[in-house]
Amino acid sequence: MELEIGGVVLTIELDSAEKLALQILAFTILLLVVVAIANRIRISAPLLLIIVGIGLSFVIAEIPPLPPELVLVGILPPLLYGAAYNTSFIDFRNKKWSIGSLSVGLVIFTSLIVGVVAHLVIPDIPLAAGIALGAVVAPPDAVAATAVAKRVGMPTSIVQILEGESLVNDASALTTLRAAIITVSATFSLWQVSFNFIVAAGGGVLLGYLVAQIAIPIRRKITTPTFDTIFSFTVPFIAFLPAEFIDASGVVAVVVAGLLVGHGSPGVQTGSARLTTQANWRTLIFFLENAVFLLVGLQMRNVLEGLGADNHTTPDVILFTVSIYLALVITRFVWMFIPWLPASLRNKRSGTRERVVIAWAGMRGVVTLAAALTLPAGFPSRDLLIFVSFVVVLASLMIQGFTLPALVRYLRLSPPDPASMALEEASLLERAANAGTKRLGEVVTPADPAEVVERLRLGARERTNAAWEKVAEPGGEETPVEAYSRLRLIMLNAERTSVLEDRDSGNYSDEIIRQVINLLDVEEARLDAIRVTRSEGARDVAVPETIAGECEHLTDAKSLPVPPPPLECEACIAEGSTWVHLRMCLECGTVGCCDSSERLHARQHHRDTKHAVIRSVEPGEDWRWCYIDHLIDNTPADAPRRPS
C-alpha cells in the first residue's frame, strides 16, 4: 500500500492478517459514521447503510462474496434471540392471533401468490422455485419498520404487532423456503411442502422450549455477571444448532427460547447481572443489525455481475422485478382486509387506519437478503431471483421507508401518551414501594437501628415521588429530583477528582481505587438515567399538587363507589381485545381500559362524553386523573385534603 505525504511516497507492506485488521477497522468506522449521519438527518439507518454499501461496491476493486452461512448461522441467531428476549411475552401472547396471522398465514399466502406471479411472468421458472422466491421476500424486517414507527410516534399496539410479526415470520419464511427447495427437483406437492413446514416448525418450538427450561435454572445458579453474560451469548446457538441438526427450524427454536428466557430471567438474575448483560447485548445487536445492511449493499456489484451471465433480457428482468414488488405490496394489503377470513385472522382488533399502516410497513431487510444467498447452485434462475430480492429490499426501504412517516401523520394516529405512561410508571412504582415497606415492617426488629429503617423508608418514598412528578404538566421549573441530580452530579465529579488525585499519588492500592470509582460510576449512571429520560421527550418534571382543589374538575368529581369484582372493560370484550388496567369514569361510572391497553377505551369515553375525571379501580389504588387539566390526585381516600 502506498501513501503520499508532503510529496514523499511511503510504501507500506501489509501481510494478510494486517490487511484483515485494517479492513475490519475501516468497516467499523464507516458503519459508525453512516449511522451517526442517519441519526443526525433523521432517516432510516438501514436505508443509508445499503445506499453507501452499493456505492462502495462499484468503487472498491474487489469485494469477496458474502457467505450466506455467515448471516444465517453467525448473525441471525443472536439478532433474533436479542429481539425475542426483549419482547414482552405477555404482549406477544395477548396479540397472538394478530401476530400469527401476519407471521405465518401472510408468509405462506405471500409465498404462494409470488410463486404464481413469478411462474406466469417467466414460465421458465418452476412453480416451486417461484414459491421459494416468495418465501425469500415474504418476511418484513422489524429493524427498519419499528425504527420509523418509534420515531414518528406510532401507537404502541402497532409497534408491538410489527415486532412480534418479525420474530416469527423469519422462521416461517425460512421453513417455507427449505420445503420449497426440497420440492424443486421433484414434482411439486403442496401437501409435501405443508408437511415439511409443520415438522420443521413443530420441532423448532419443542427444541426452543427445552433449551429455555434448561437455561433458566442455570442462570439462577450463576452469580457472576461476566459468566452470566457469556452464557447468554451461547443460548441462541445452543437452540439453533441442535434444531438444524435434526432438520427442525433453528430460527423457530431461537425465537421460542428467547421469548421464554427473557420472560423468566428477571426472577432469576441479579440486578448487576441484568445490567451487565443488557449493556453487552445492546452493543452486540447494534453492531450486527447495522453491519448486515452495509455488507448487503457491498454485494450489489457481485449480484449484477451474476445477473449478466443469465439469459433473461433487460425488459424481462424489469417486468419481473416490478411484478414481484407489486405482488408483495398488494398481497399484504389484501391479507389485512380480506373479508372472508375469521375475525382473528383479519386482525379485527385494529381499526382501518391501523391496518393501512401495518400493511404499508412491510419493509424487507436482513432475512430476505440472507435467504436469497442460500439458494443452491444450479437453482432455476438463481441469479435473477437473488437480484430481484436485493431490489425488493432496496425499493421497500426507499419507497415505504420514506413515505411511512407521512402516512402516519396523514392518518392522525395517536402516539403513546407520555402522561399516561408516566401515570402507569408511578402507579407501578408506588405499588412496589408499598409492598417493600410492608415487608420491611414485618422483618424489622427493635435491634435494627431506627435511623437505618427510616432511611430505607425514605428511599422508597423518594423513588415513588420522583415517578409521580413526571405526571404533572410541564412547567419549565426544576423539580426537587432534578435539583438533587444536578447537585449530586457536581459532588460526584469532585469526589472522582479526589479519588484520581489519590490514585496518582500512589497512597492507595489500585484495587481499592477501582472499587471506589465503580461505586461512584453506578450512582452516576442512575442519575444520568433521569437526565436521559427528560432529554428524550419525557414530560417536564414538576412537583404536583396532587390533592383535591387544584383543578375544578377534580374538585367537582364525585367519588363513586367501586363496583364489586370482577370488573371488565365491556368495549374490549365486545371487540375481542384485552386490557392492561381498568379505569372508571367518576361522572357516569363507565369502566374502560387504560392508555397502556390496546384500544384506550377510557380515553375514548372521555372524547365521546367530555367527562373529565377517571379513577383507578385496580386493587389498592384510589388516585384520580383529570383528562382536561392533566392533574392527578393521589392522596389516599382517608387522608385529609386541602379545602377547595
pLDDT for 280-320, tens place per residue? 888 898 898 888 888 878 888 887 877 766 677 888 889 99
Between 624 and 427, the more confident residue is: 624
CB under 8 Å to 381, separation ≥6 — which residues?
122, 124, 125, 129, 310, 312
Mean pLDDT across the chain, nearest whole number? 78
Calculated CA dihedral for residues 369, 160, 38, 69, nearest 10 degrees: -20
Residue 429's closest CA among 403, 487, 468, 469? 468
Between 401 and 389, the more confident residue is: 389
What secondary structure letter does DSSP report for 105?
I
Length of the chain equals 644
Q: Which range is least confidently modeled, 80-84, 110-114, 229-233, 269-273?
A: 269-273
Q: Which range is least confidently modeled, 52-61, 102-111, 263-272, 385-394?
A: 263-272
CB under 8 Å to 604, separation ≥6 — which residues?
571, 592
Between 414 and 210, the more confident residue is: 210
CA distance 362 to 352: 16
Give 542's pLDDT tier (boundaries 50, 70, 90): very low
Give residue 600's region: left, alpha or beta (phi > 0; psi -120 to 50).
left
Cis peptide before 566 (omega within 30 of 0): yes
Summarize pLDDT for 568-626 with one digit per residue, the tens. 898 888 887 777 778 899 888 899 988 767 678 888 899 899 998 888 887 767 778 88
Q: Which residues of 463-478 are buried (b: 16+ CB within 10 A; e: fewer)?
A: ebbbbbbbbbeeeeee
C-alpha cell at 139: 418476511
Give 398's pLDDT tier (boundaries 50, 70, 90): confident
Give 468's pLDDT tier (boundaries 50, 70, 90): low
Identify which of 138-147, 389-398, 414-423 has the greatest average pLDDT. Answer: 389-398
How many beta carbons lie within 10 A of that of residue 52, not counting itself? Answer: 20
| pLDDT at res. 454 | 80
Between 464 and 222, the more confident residue is: 222
Identify which of 112-116, 435-439, 619-623 has the greatest average pLDDT. Answer: 112-116
User: Is residue 191 pLDDT above 80, yes or no?
Assistant: no
Q: Please, are residues 180 and 194 in contact by the beta-carbon 8 Å criterion? A: no
Q: Please, are residues 106 and 332 in contact by the beta-carbon 8 Å criterion? A: yes
Q: Which helix (H) or strand (E) holds 214?
A: helix 190-221
CA distance 31 to 194: 41
Between 432 and 58, the more confident residue is: 58
Is this structure's pTM higher than 0.75?
no
End-to-end CA distance of the chain: 81
